[in-house]
Chains A and B, each alone.
Chain A
Amino acid sequence: MSTQLTQDEVLKVASLSRLKLSETEVTALGEQMGSVLKYIAMLDELDTTDIEPMAHAIEISNVFRDDQLQESLPREQALSNAPQTDGKYFLVPAIL
């Protein structure tokens, strides 16, 4: 794997993350992400031929809760982290 991501790859990830990057950031992040991937690529050296893929990091299954109501947050608290609100709704820049 190459040590650096192409400019297009960085821009694609940025657009999926809704991030606006400057040209210098694109170059710098390309290098940084490349080195992260290179580090992770060490795992490719392992032989995983007979190993079942894992669906979860710990061997655990069937964790359920009963269908019982629990108290929800009061609206003021639910909205307390909102960058913008009218006291009833979260407000966001016009979608469409």
Chain B
Amino acid sequence: MDYTVIIGLEVHVQLQTRTKLFCGCSTRFNPDHPNTQTCPVCLGLPGALPVLNREAFHLGMKTGLAINCEIPSFTKWDRKQYYYPDLPKAYQISQYDLPMSQNGWLEIEIDPETRETKKVGIIRAHLEEDAGKNSHDESGRGHDSKVDLNRCGTPLVEIVSEPDLRSAQEARKYLEELKLLLTYIDVSDCNMQEGSLRCDANVNLHIHQENGETIPTPIVEIKNLNSFRGVEQAIEFEVKRQWEAWQETKLSLHDVPKETRGWDADRGITLEQRGKEEAADYRYFPDPDLAPVTVTDAEREKVSSELCERPALRRNRLESEYELSAYDAAVIIDQGLAFADYFEQVAKGCQNGKQAANWVTQDVLRELKEKGLEISSFTIKPEILAALLEKVERSEITTKSARTVFQELINSEESELNAASVQSIIEDKGLAMVSDTGALEAAVQAVVAKNEKAVADFQSGKQAAVGALIGQVMREVKGADPKVVRELLIEKMS
């Protein structure tokens, strides 16, 4: 007997607006100053009137279009009612039967070896407001819980996938691709520490019986997943737990209602939470305070035209246009939009994509990591790196010399750096490859004359003797091409 793992993800992403979804309070992450970013609207005071933030709707449309959703021409707002201390109105303004986007998909690579991809269906992506933040007494003495309503009313887009994911690894991959996409199209910073991207996972198993029948186990919604690793571990744990529970109880999805479990990252287990109220108990109804929104074809096209090239497409383009390995292309794309732009400027500037990729994924990336920098604040601008690599490309300096120049550039003040910096460092350090064969031949002649023993060794067949002589010539003539030096030496000694 075996089973298939069935996973669907609900992802909440905070949209990067300045103000909340229905009022002008700041959305800034500000846990040190609780309850300083509220007003009658987000506090749910009587008589307050919510008004939709145009930019939030715009970012919602961008998100929907980026995940290949239809944007219906009519959408509306509904009240989802439940009692919880972080929700002062006792209802959340959300979208129920007419979401602002639906029926999309996101493609993920599920096997890096074969490059096999999979389209994960997206049921819907709708806008809703966030709740506040509760903090609990950790001492176990049952002191009061504290409520901070700064986050209350912050715009979220909830993205609900089809149950198309078949393993914890696929779920993680989907999340990584989604996060990358949303940061590329600039709708969210997707900062998981600050809660800008949160995930719930619906997990169950399809048990394949020997008689060919398939029995679904009860669906469990895992909450409190706030890291990619957490998502992966929680699903793995849950699969194992459900398989064991099935063997023991033989309970199917039809025998028990959907269960909500919380992920305890410290203990590495999921724990049963309060029974979830049935969908009907939310008593959704259209919010009479908010007008519906209509969207025209022209508006859809306008937002569509604002979308940048999606990371998946750009990854493929980098591979073909610059002849990069899949690995290099993925490393570059994963660093974010600004980094990918940086790479392309360098590659175009120096006319060698492969070389540009080597430098940005190794030298540049190492430097950024060591100093904890973003590419936007990196002092070696792409045109400067391109100028340097162009010198290598034209055999004006060696790769080794280029690394010396790179270090010099890093140690320079940003204000002093410009396109001419590369050339002046090369000159100051005497790194230019010597094309003056006269000077080089003289140096070779002198070294050969000074080293009778090495010459004799070479002539008796010890090829290794050349190495020491190359070093001596290079010390004399900085920037000489070692290959040329070697040839000249062998010629002289033969």
* Chain A residues packing against B (C-beta within 8 Å): 16-18, 55-57, 60-75, 78-79, 81, 84, 86, 88-96
16 of the cross-chain contacts (CB-CB < 8 Å) are A16-B281, A55-B76, A56-B76, A56-B292, A62-B294, A63-B51, A65-B54, A66-B54, A67-B18, A67-B55, A70-B25, A79-B35, A89-B35, A89-B147, A90-B146, A94-B143
Stretch among B37-45, B118-126, B438-446 lining the A interface: B37-45
B19 touching A18, Cβ below 8 Å: no
Q: Is B169 an interface residue (CB 8 A)?
A: no
Also in contact, A70 and B34, with CB within 8 A (given A55-B292, A56-B288, A93-B145): no
Q: How far is the CA of A54 from the CA of B416 in the complex (A)?
A: 66
Residues of A with C-beta under 8 A to B142: 94
Q: Which residue of chain B is the closest to A79 with respect to CB atoms?
A: B35
Name the distance in Å between B50's Cβ and chain A's nearest Cβ: 10
**How far apart sit A72 and B37, CA to CA, in the bound complex (Å)?**
5
Q: A18-B83, A61-B292, A78-B149 are in contact. Are A67 and B53 (CB under 8 A)?
A: yes
Output the nearest chain A residue to B45 by Cβ-Cβ distance. A81
Q: Which 7 A-B pairs have the closest CB atoms?
A: A70-B24, A89-B146, A67-B55, A64-B54, A90-B147, A91-B144, A63-B291
Known: A55-B286, A61-B291, A61-B294. 7 other contacts (CB 8 A): A56-B291, A61-B292, A62-B294, A75-B36, A89-B34, A90-B85, A92-B144
In the complex, chain B residues 276-295 whose Cβ is within 8 Å of any chain A Cβ: 277, 281, 283, 286, 288, 290-294
Q: A87: nearest residue on chain B (CB-CB)? A: B35
Shortest beta-carbon distance from A70 to chain B in Å: 3
Residue of A68, A78, A94 ringed by the most chain B CB atoms within 10 A? A78
Chain A residues with Cβ under 8 A from B40's Cβ? 73
Give the CA-CA distance A84 to B36 in the complex, in Å: 17
Residue of A nearest to B132 (CB): A90
Cα A4 to Cα B328 in complex, Å, equals 71
A96 touches B98 (CB 8 A): no
Give complex CA distance A84, B83 in Å: 18
Report if B183 contacts A (CB, 8 A): no
Residues of B near A71 (CB, < 8 A) are: 24
List B residues 19-69 near A (Cβ within 8 Å).
19, 23-26, 33-40, 43, 45, 51-57
Q: Does B491 make an interface contact (CB < 8 A)? A: no
Residues in A with CB closer than 8 Å to B34 are: 75, 88-89
Decide: B136 and A88 in contact? CB cutoff 8 A. no
Q: Is the CB of B148 within 8 A of A69?
A: no
Within 8 A of A (CB), among B131-177: 134-137, 142-149
Query: CA A72 – CA B25 in complex, angstroms?
Result: 6
In the bound complex, CA of A74 to CA of B294 (Å):
36
With the chains together, A68 CA to B76 CA distance in Å? 23
CB distance from A53 to the nearest CB of B (A): 9
Greatest chain B CB density within 10 A among A72, A73, A92, A94 is at A72
**Set B53, B98, B145, B291: member contacting A94, Cβ < 8 A:** B145
Across-interface contacts of B74 in A (CB, < 8 A): 55
A65 and B51 in contact (CB under 8 A), knowing A55-B286, A56-B288?
yes
B217 touches A (CB below 8 Å):
no
- CA A78 to CA B152, docked complex, whole Å: 13
Q: Quick one: given A67-B18, A96-B136, are A72 and B38 in contact (CB under 8 Å)?
A: yes
User: A62 contacts B35, CB within 8 Å?
Assistant: no
CB-defined contacts of A95 to chain B, threshold 8 Å: 84-85, 134, 136, 145
* Cα of A81 to Cα of B79 in the assembled complex, Å: 24
A60 to B17, CA, bound (A): 25
Tell me the complex Cα distance, A90–B36, Å: 12
Give bound CA distance, A73 to B24, whole Å.
11
Q: Which residues of A contact B19 (CB under 8 A)?
A: 67-70
Looking at A57, A60, A64, A81, the one whose CB has the most chain B CB atoms below 10 A away is: A64
In the complex, A64→B52 CA distance in Å?
5
Q: With both chains docked as a complex, state the minimum distance between the C-beta of B244 and any C-beta of chain A, in angstroms.
A: 27
Cβ contact of A73, chosen from B33, B38, B51, B137, cutoff 8 A: B38
Of chain A, the residue at the smallest CB distance from B18 is A67
Residues of B within 8 A of A78 (CB): 35-36, 38, 43, 149
Q: Name the A residues within 8 Å of B290 (CB-CB).
A: 63
Q: Give the distance in Å from the alpha carbon of A81 to the alpha carbon of B288 in the complex.
A: 25
Residue among A56, A66, A94 making CB contact with B137, cutoff 8 Å: A94
Residues from chain B with Cβ under 8 Å of A81 in the complex: 45
Among residues of A, the one whose C-beta sits closest to the C-beta of B155 is A67
Determine the distance from Cα of A65 to Cα of B134 in the docked complex, in whole angstroms: 29
Q: In the complex, A60 Cα to B74 Cα: how many Å?
A: 12
> In the complex, A69 Cα to B17 Cα: how many Å?
10
**Nearest residue, chain B, Cβ from A84:** B144
Chain A residue nearest to B82 (CB atoms) is A16
Docked pose: A78 CA to B38 CA in angstroms? 7
Q: Which of A16, A61, A67, A89 contacts B293 (CB under 8 A)?
A: A61
CB pair A64–B146 under 8 Å, yes or no, is: no
* List of A residues within 8 angstroms of B17 by Cβ: 67
